[in-house]
Chains A and B, each alone.
Chain A
Amino acid sequence: MKPTGKVAALVVAIAAFAVLPVFLKSYGVYLCTLFCVTLMATYGLNLTVGYAGQMSLGQAAFYGIGAYIAATALKAGIPFFVILPLAAIVCFAVGLALGFPALRVQHHYLAFATLGFNVLVFLMMRNEEKLTGGTFGISGIPRPTLFGLSLDGVLPFFWFTLFFTILLICLLWWLLRSPWGRAFAALRDNPIRAESLGVNITAYTLLAFAIGAACAGIAGVFFAALVQFVEPAPFHFSASLLMLLAVIVGGSGRFFGPVLGTVVIVLLPEWLRFMQNWYLAVFGFAIVALMIWLPGGLLSIPEKFARKGAAK
């Protein structure tokens, strides 16, 4: 397909997705909004894991930090558009700090280091009751307004979230097309060679973690405004595993991989609910099958067929 054709197809797909919730009940609109929110976090994780090759099982911690910052600040009456950059900056800084272990350890060791960080943040959310409300959480979080217009309705908030999701994805596209994107790929493919070619692997490793964390922080802000109640459970390390699953199932290091991966982790379980007690078992089986037949993710299907065609 020609580039103009690809852009046209993308615009049509986005327009269709923007219109879809009009025909859905409120739970359907909620799921579409949750899909957008999760997409912001998985896009960030795709940069850290897929493009820069740094394993992370701590993305839900940043998602939670963003959500708790938003919950506390929105209740205190701080404007949403102040909270959004604030959460991004805080998560960027914490992500930068989390990047330091990555300078010393890699692969499964790094996975456990980041997982440990997620557990630590989760325990703080659960036990620091004065700050986070503990297991009771923080309720009554107001939704933002836009130029005086209320975003309390499910549809206006969906469109608001969709706009920012697209904006964030466009920013990441621009970043990954810049020389930074190539440096991240060099770091992932061969850090020793990259360093001998002047790539500052310390700086790019830390940046990969920090940018990915900032995306999750932004997602967390939208999550708090969406559900209007935050408690520790959605930020358990199992949420980080699901986000990593989204990146891998979609196609790690492929730009549109998180879109398909997030469909799998957010929407697929809902579509399978008609199976009642069996739906999670079928979901699990589907994931196992995907990992066996498509280790490169769903976006590797065309390449797989092309290879088979060439082999014949």
Chain B
Amino acid sequence: MTALPSFLEVKHVRKAYGAIKAVDGVTFSVGPGEIVGVIGPNGSGKTTLFNSILGQIKPSAGGVEFCGEDITGMSPLELSRRGVGRTFQTLQVFTHLTVRDNLIAAAQEFKGTLVGRLFAKPDAGLGHHADEMIELFRLKHVAHLKAGTLSYGQQKLIDIAMAFMPAPRLVLLDEPCAGVNPSLVDQLRELLIDLNKTQGGSFVVIEHNMDFIMRLCPRVICMVEGKVMAEGTPSAVQSNRQVLEAYLGN
């Protein structure tokens, strides 16, 4: 595999809660436009790693660089302004807003100044882009409905579409397939591949659905007990003896 220039650099990140090392010296990098999968058993530190990268929690040690800039401990707001987006393990939509308003809300703060937005058009000039995303995610028939009234799968699609609305340079997706029916999983994979091609961003994806991650990600990292146990192509990681013993089984 040709080495891509680094885009996101995670260097020896540690996060400890007392004696428990949730993340224990994790190092990896992500290149521009690359899709990297992160797998591992429950409690292996994947989400803690994401939260350490994304400013939700402060790592105990180590650092994170994005495009050569040290972003360790930066707030989610500062990171979002640098083009870093995310989805969460649980649904995180604005339940009282319509689907279309959820998508506009996801990108409007990147347009103009705070005072300028007060005098901007109600859709902040994002209506057309929101409609395109609605079309792409096949949500047209529910676009005018409040997000909180929709099914879990539909809300999951909105959740993911929101992360891509501002066209971020890096998106960290935390279990995008959790609770989603099998037919939607295929749709989701196709959507992510499509967005990777059209928007050109890099993705890091945590997932337990092995079929999804192996078909989406050219490179996979397996974490066990807070450490990187294996890293490589999907087939290499899948056949790694330690990974088989600790996570995938026979």
Interfacial residues, chain A to chain B (CB-CB below 8 A)? 175, 177-180, 182-183, 185-186, 188-190, 192-201, 203, 253
Do residues B117 and A178 form an inter-chain contact, with CB atoms below 8 A? yes
Interface residues of B in 52-73 (CB under 8 A from A): 54, 56
Q: Which residues of B contact A193 (CB under 8 A)?
A: 88, 92-94, 162
Judge if B76 is at the interface, Cβ distance under 8 Å.
Answer: yes
Q: Which of B93, B97, B119 contacts A178 (CB 8 A)?
A: B119
Q: Which residues of B contact A182 (CB under 8 A)?
A: 97, 101, 104-105, 108
Q: Which residues of A contact B165 (CB under 8 A)?
A: 197
Q: Is the interface of A mostly helix, strand, loop or mixed?
A: helix
Q: Which of A180, A185, A189, A201 contacts B117 (CB 8 A)?
A: A180
Q: How far apart are the CA atoms of A179 and B120 in the complex, in Å?
A: 7
Q: Which residues of A contact B106 (CB under 8 A)?
A: 197
Q: In the complex where A178-B119, A196-B76, A197-B166 touch, is A183 in contact with B96 (Cβ < 8 A)?
A: no
Q: In the complex where A193-B92, A196-B76 touch, is A183 in contact with B108 (Cβ < 8 A)?
A: yes
Q: In the complex where A195-B80, A198-B77 touch, is A179 in contact with B92 (Cβ < 8 A)?
A: no
Q: Which residues of A contact B101 (CB under 8 A)?
A: 182, 185
Minimum distance in angstroms from A191 CB to a CB of chain B: 10
Q: How far apart are the CA atoms of A253 and B95 in the complex, in Å?
A: 13
Do residues A197 and B162 form an inter-chain contact, with CB atoms below 8 A? yes
Q: In the complex where A179-B108, A182-B108, A203-B114 touch, is A197 in contact with B124 (Cβ < 8 A)?
A: no
Closest residue of chain A to B115, judged by CB?
A: A180
Do residues B76 and A195 form an inter-chain contact, with CB atoms below 8 A? yes
Judge if B138 is at the interface, Cβ distance under 8 Å.
Answer: no
Do residues A179 and B117 form an inter-chain contact, with CB atoms below 8 A? yes
Would you give the 0/1 interface string for B73-106, flagging 1 where the beta carbon is closer than 8 Å to chain A?
Answer: 0011101110001101000111111000100111
Q: Which residues of A contact B162 (CB under 8 A)?
A: 193, 197
Closest residue of chain B to A51, judged by CB?
A: B96
